[in-house]
């Protein structure tokens, strides 16, 4: 996908270029850090961590749409 046609809610991997919406094919995992429980989205192609979001509160779609 060309960056000029990418929607605002498209996440992309800066390492391999994989693109998908927040609720797309990203690998999801839950972790606990000093900031509390987090949802981690990782690239299904290369494994790079794309984002970590709070597990409680607004979902990933809500957080991204509000950015």
pLDDT at 67: 45
pLDDT in tens, the chain (67 residues): 455 555 568 999 999 999 999 899 999 999 888 888 999 999 999 999 999 889 875 555 555 544 4
Q: Are 7 and 20 in contact (CB under 8 A)?
A: no
């Amino acid at each position: 996908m060309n960056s000029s046609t990418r929607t605002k809610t498209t996440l992309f991997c800066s390492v391999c270029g994989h693109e998908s919406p927040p609720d797309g094919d990203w690998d999801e995992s839950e972790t606990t850090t000093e900031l509390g429980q987090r949802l981690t989205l990782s690239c299904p192609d290369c494994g790079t961590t794309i984002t970590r979001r709070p597990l409680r509160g607004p979902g990933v779609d809500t957080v991204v749409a509000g950015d």
